[in-house]
Each structure stands twice: as C-alpha cells, then as structure tokens.
Structure 1
C-alpha cells in the first residue's frame, strides 16, 4: 500500500486528534446555495466524505459539523452520518469547538478543524491541526497546517478523514476488513 506523502510534523499533529470539526458550505459542499421556489434549501454532499465520517466514528474519533447558517439539510446529513455534534446557526465556530472539546475533556491541541474561508480562520488558528480545502480562500491558507488535495464538495472531507486514519494507524485494519464497518 502506498501512503500519501505526509510530513512528519503533519503526522505528529494528526496522531493526537480526538475531535475533528468541519465547516459545511465550501468544505463538505461545493459552496453553492440552491433555493427552491418554496424557500427550501438544497445542498450536494460527497458520498466519499460520508464514509470517511463513518470510518472515523469506528476508529473512536469524534466529528462535528459547525456552520453559521440555519440548515435543516445539514442537520439531516449529520444525523444520517451519526455525527454527535451538529451545530447550525453558530456565531462563533471557535467557541463552539472549545465547548465541545471541554465537554470531552480534551485540549485544543487534540482538535482538528477543516475550513475554507474567513469565518473558519479564528478556529483554524486555535486548533492542533488546521486543514484548508484545495479551494480555500487565499487569506485562510496561511493558517492551515495542511491543504487537502481535493476541493470542498469533491472529497476534501474524506482527505481530512484519511489523514487522521493514517496517522493513527487505522488503515491496515480497515483494508484487512475489506469493506466499511
């Protein structure tokens, strides 16, 4: 099996992570907002990301969805993926991630966050592992410890999940199992 080229520092950071938070729009979606004439919102999520969330859950790594938007679609997707921490209409993503970490009894050095734009920047600056998507705004990139190879909505979430799974030694077991849990 060929392992992606991760730096030693990146693997060291990723090995400590117990909680990973994800922005939604532009990170787990392509960032487009689709509204029906009835006012309902639609989003497109990548199935690769969903399996990554499942693999993390089975590896004992908690996930969080944190978005400033009020979104029934995000809540539904989070429930489908059995995400414990689904936070919509969140004014401060940093404060939200700090509350979750405190509730888990872990430090912010054990938290990762995946984002793509300015509302994610404060959080990215305060976590042990800051990840930006390939399509992240250039103002956010300097805060990232790593940039995913794929864009938001195209598998960037799975890239982040895979990094943690590699760093924490779960890949061999996943591959030996031959199918997802």
Structure 2
C-alpha cells in the first residue's frame, strides 16, 4: 500500500473502528454472556509506534464494551468514543475539539457505519475483508484482514512515509 508522503506528514489524528478492523469482527461470548474480543499484538505495537511519531490516536466504535476501554488504556489511546453509529460525525466532532482539520485526519473502517468517516477523513483505509461499501469509500486497502495485522499494515505505511518506520 502506497500512501502520499504529504498526507502522511500532515496526519495529526488517526482513528480506528474496532470490530472488523482492530479485531477480526467476530464476537465471542462466555457462558455467562460476557462478550470477548481478540486483539492482535502486531497491531498494538504499530499503534504505539504511530503515537510515538506524533499522531494522536482515537477509537470510534458503535458498540460499548469495557474491553475496548481496557485495550485503549493499555495502548495509551486517550480518545475513545463508544456507542456511536454515525462515525463521521463522531470523527468530525473529535477533530474539531482537538483543533485538527479533515485534511490532517485519517480513519480506518470496515462496514457501512464507517463510510461517513472514511469519506470525511483525508486518509482512509479499509481492511482486506471489509464490506464492499467501505472498500469503495476508502482511499487505501490493506492486504491483511481486520484483526490479523491490518492495523499494523496501516501504521507501517504511514510511518514509512513519515520517515519513522
């Protein structure tokens, strides 16, 4: 995946959906009915490297689960927006609060609720296994599937163009 060096250099905010991007999209339930998500360690390391390069990270998800807050805390991601179906509005609101323009914003999503955010952000990404509507809205597509290193692939592509790989 080749992204513009200018876009990578200008990037100040990168937001990610959870289900289907940071995870494989499957939700596991314990006997007690507790939902469990599986995150890939490659992705976590990529996110830490991207943050260290000066990019503010955010999570925007339609679901509301404690494990997302826990994963974000583990990675040092301070901006976590849960329970939001219109992710484009959520992303625009967050960017506005942070004083960041759409031209300085990136987003990764995999399904219909992500389309508005994918279209709003200057840099947009969809994993290999994203729904077709997200792939059409995204500027870039990963070779890896969501939950299987797609986030790391995105981070590495941005870092390579920022000279921080």
TM-score range, shorter chain: over 0.9
| Rounded Cα–Cα distance in structure 2 between residues aligned with 1:102 and 1:82 | 21
Report how far residue 123 of structure 1 moved.
Answer: 0.7
Where do 1:24-173 residues align within 5 Å?
24-171=18-165
Structure whose CA Rg is larger: 1
3-state SS of the aligned residue for 1:140?
helix
| Rounded Cα–Cα distance in structure 2 between residues aligned with 1:19 and 1:106 | 7
Moved more, 120-129 or 160-169: 160-169
> Cα RMSD over matched residues?
1.2
| Rounded Cα–Cα distance in structure 1 between residues aligned with 2:113 and 2:59 | 14
* 1:26-67 C-alpha deviation (Å, 9 max, x unpaired): 001000011112121111100000001111111110111110
What residue ranges of structure 2 are gaps of 5+ in the alignment?
none
* 1:78-115 C-alpha deviation (Å, 9 max, x unpaired): 01001011111113211211122112211011110001
The normalised TM-score by structure 2 is 0.95
3-state SS of the aligned residue for 2:133?
coil
- Does the 8 A contact of 2:127 with 2:141 survive in 1? yes
| Rounded Cα–Cα distance in structure 1 between residues aligned with 2:82 and 2:111 | 17
> Across the two proteins, how many residue pairs are aligned to each other?
165
Report how far residue 12 of structure 1 moved.
Answer: 2.9
| Rounded Cα–Cα distance in structure 2 between residues aligned with 1:95 and 1:139 | 18
* 1:135-177 C-alpha deviation (Å, 9 max, x unpaired): 1111221211110110000000011111111111112xxxxxx
Match of 1:174 in 2: none
